Amino acid sequence: MTGSQINRRELLGAGVATAAALGIADTAMGEGAMLAPGVARTDLAAALAAFRGVVGAEWVAGDAASVVPWTGSYVPDPGGHHAPVGAVCPASVEEVQAILKIANQYRQPLWPVSTGKNMGYGRTTTAAPGQVVLDLKRMNRIISVDPVLCTALVEPGVTYQQLRDYLDENAIPLWIDVPTVGPIVGPVGNTLDRGVGYTPYGEHFMVQCGMEVVLANGDILKTGMGSTKNPSAWQAFKWGYGPYLDGIFTQSNFGVVTKMGLWLMPAPPVYKPLVIRHRHVEDVSRIVDAMRPLRIANIVPNVVLMMSAGYQLAMFHRRGEVWNGAGPVPDEAFGSFAAAHDLGMWNTYIALYGTPAMVAESERIIRGAFAAIDGEVMTEEQMHGNPWFHHHATLMRGGLSLEEVGLARWKGAGGGLAWFAPVAPALGSETLGQIALAKDILARHGFDYTSAFAIGSRELHHIIALLFDKSDPEEERRADACYRDLVEGFGERGWASYRTGVQAMDLVAQQYGATNRAVNAAIKQALDPNHILAPGKSGIA
């Protein structure tokens, strides 16, 4: 009874409750799955029964067998703390409202997901135990696409594939911008997680415009221009009047976003993807310094991705093909395998978009900049047939690919992948120290360094794919410890993450300080006083 004896408000109202504290199980009730703090098994059962009354029994999962589709993830979860205890799949805003009302009644927390396929960040698993997934996949209407204003309004279950198909079927000459695994994920979920893509519209939150949010009390908030009398500018103007609210519904648990507007890119007359190859690990420093001014001046108009040989190889090869020695794969092994496949140690992907004259002028400037630092600038013709180039050339025009799913098979069939994504300013001097630190921590736990760097605008993302075999419980424990060491080791040096998986949300939130957490806790308390929406998300109880 220890869990339920602890006053729930003490745990959740303080704004500094840890995932561990939230994870206290209701042991008296506790056969099977853990419950949320203060929720009795009878409450959960009653909530699930009421959910069935709203959406029909076939759209509610509440026992160990039926909940399986929502319990799997690539991220380490050695204690099984992150598996949901149920799932409910509404088909409309009204059903979402009814579900929230029930959740408030029984204090049963819900974990909203859009398509629930965010790969190495946790998929449909939850930050704290005992939650029921609020799976919005059935709400998958493309509400409108405006080919004149180049905008769309979509529901959370809409996938990028669906949006691409809609544009093709209606011959609308607009591009979309996808993250990895575009076919199975969608704009709402990715944007709310502040994910990024590969075209000039790659900063998804920047090109988001207008939201509909169901608040915990069931009220429907339309942001921006959405609540005005004739909201024809809802997808045209981001800010509206008064405090700009959209941001507080990203990486948060303050509401359930049920519609989102986004801007789409007009198809350019010419598209020219390029890769710039470099041979040495330490070249990355020079690449960043050469790329930064080009990116800031918009001569390179899209998010710049610098893929290490390791990350590239892990997409299409198994580890045993590259290395069978002891310890992590050495740079030399990655480098020589990569070279045999026409790849460099770093493979920097960019693309140009515009009229022939614009593209030619940008290419001239870029070639000049990279000739000065020994970069080989390669075109689509030169890389013809290369599967890596083909993959990135597809992404940089908003094309769809599932190929990065291969990462999760690097070390076995168990599917282990956790992305670690610290942020720094876009300075070459930030790179080599990060690489040394990452290699050191990864090697200590027996893992390979497989990474990419990305320059959004003025910032550098280091995207480290922690690849492990989740079918090996010992390796899963090591991966969990390794990820925590990465967060803490990088945090100590001043490199905090922009995004993380359900297994480390509280840990990352700690690095953003007590006042930040207190403000989030105060807003949470104001908008969701029963804490029914995703407690633990981004470290917010």
CB of 57 to its own copies, least distance (A): 32
* Burial environment of residue 419 by CB neighbours within 10 A (0 to 12, 13 to 18, 19 or more): buried
Q: Is 161 in the site for its own copies (CB under 8 A)?
A: no
CB hemisphere CA count around 433 (13 angstroms): 12
**Residue 62 tokens, joined:** 């509440």
CB of 295 to its own copies, least distance (A): 11
For its own copies, the binding residues in 95-114 under the rule CB under 8 A are none
Name the active-site residue from 8, 123, 397, 499. 499
**Calpha distance 268→130 (Å, rounded):** 48
Name beta bridge partners: 533. Answer: 110
Contact with its own copies (CB under 8 A) among 236, 339, 400, 481: 236
Looking at residue 268, what DSSP letter applies? P
Q: Which is nearer to its own copies, 179 or 456 (CB)?
A: 456
Residue 142 has phi, psi (to 5 degrees) of -85, 105
Residue 59 has phi, psi (to 5 degrees) of -110, 20
**Residue 175 tokens, joined:** 């591009």
CB of 506 to its own copies, least distance (A): 11
For its own copies, the binding residues in 467-496 under the rule CB under 8 A are 491-496
Looking at residue 238, what DSSP letter applies? S
Site string for its own copies, 339-368 (x = CB under 8 A): ----------------x-xx-xxx--x---
CB of 62 to its own copies, least distance (A): 30
Q: How far is CA 516 from the centre of its chain?
A: 21
Contact with its own copies (CB under 8 A) among 32, 53, 293, 473: 293
Q: Which stretch binds its own copies (CB under 8 A): 25-33, 53-61, 340-348, 419-427?
A: 419-427
For its own copies, the binding residues in 298-327 under the rule CB under 8 A are 298
Contact with its own copies (CB under 8 A) among 165, 379, 458, 471: 458
For its own copies, the binding residues in 195-234 under the rule CB under 8 A are 200, 205-206, 209, 215, 219-223, 225, 227-233
* Burial environment of residue 222 by CB neighbours within 10 A (0 to 12, 13 to 18, 19 or more): middle
CB of 250 to its own copies, least distance (A): 5
Cβ pair 23, 536 in contact under 8 A: no
Please state at what angle helix 431-444 crosses helix 473-492, rounded to 10 degrees: 150
Residue 45 has phi, psi (to 5 degrees) of -65, -40
**Calpha distance 202→182 (Å, rounded):** 13
Other residues' Cβ atoms within 10 Å of the Cβ of residue 7: 11
**Residue 244 tokens, joined:** 């700009």
For its own copies, the binding residues in 53-72 under the rule CB under 8 A are none
Q: Is 9 in the site for its own copies (CB under 8 A)?
A: no
Q: Which stretch binds its own copies (CB under 8 A): 95-103, 251-259, 331-339, 388-396?
A: 251-259
CB of 48 to its own copies, least distance (A): 29
Contact with its own copies (CB under 8 A) among 1, 326, 340, 526: 526
Residue with tokens 């700690």: 510
Residue 498 annotated in active site: yes
CA dist list (Å): 14 to 9, 227, 514: 8, 33, 11
Q: Is 433 in the site for its own copies (CB under 8 A)?
A: no
Contact with its own copies (CB under 8 A) among 120, 240, 273, 375: 240
Q: Which is nearer to its own copies, 71 or 510 (CB)?
A: 510
Q: Which stretch binds its own copies (CB under 8 A): 102-110, 307-315, 371-379, 418-426?
A: 418-426
For its own copies, the binding residues in 381-410 under the rule CB under 8 A are none
**Calpha distance 399→179 (Å, rounded):** 10
Q: Is 22 in the site for its own copies (CB under 8 A)?
A: no
Residue with tokens 């409450």: 43
**Residue 37 tokens, joined:** 């703090």
Q: Is 16 in the site for its own copies (CB under 8 A)?
A: no
**Which one, of 157, 165, 213, 153, lies nearest residue 185 by Cα?**
157
**Calpha distance 352→276 (Å, rounded):** 13
CB of 61 to its own copies, least distance (A): 29
Q: Which is nearer to its own copies, 81 or 524 (CB)?
A: 524
Residue 319 annotated in active site: no
CB of 254 to its own copies, least distance (A): 7
Q: Is 414 in the site for its own copies (CB under 8 A)?
A: no
Name the active-site residue from 121, 198, 201, 271. 121
Residue 121 annotated in active site: yes
Q: Is 280 in the site for its own copies (CB under 8 A)?
A: no
Looking at residue 136, what DSSP letter applies? -
**Calpha distance 323→330 (Å, rounded):** 8
Q: For 44, left (φ over 0), alpha (ψ -120 to 50), or beta?
A: alpha
Contact with its own copies (CB under 8 A) among 65, 243, 325, 381: 243
For its own copies, the binding residues in 129-148 under the rule CB under 8 A are 148
CB of 489 to its own copies, least distance (A): 12
Mapped onto helix, strand or coil, the DSSP state of residue 328 is coil
Q: Is 6 in the site for its own copies (CB under 8 A)?
A: no
Q: Which is nearer to its own copies, 249 or 449 (CB)?
A: 249
Catalytic sites, residue numbers = 121, 498-499
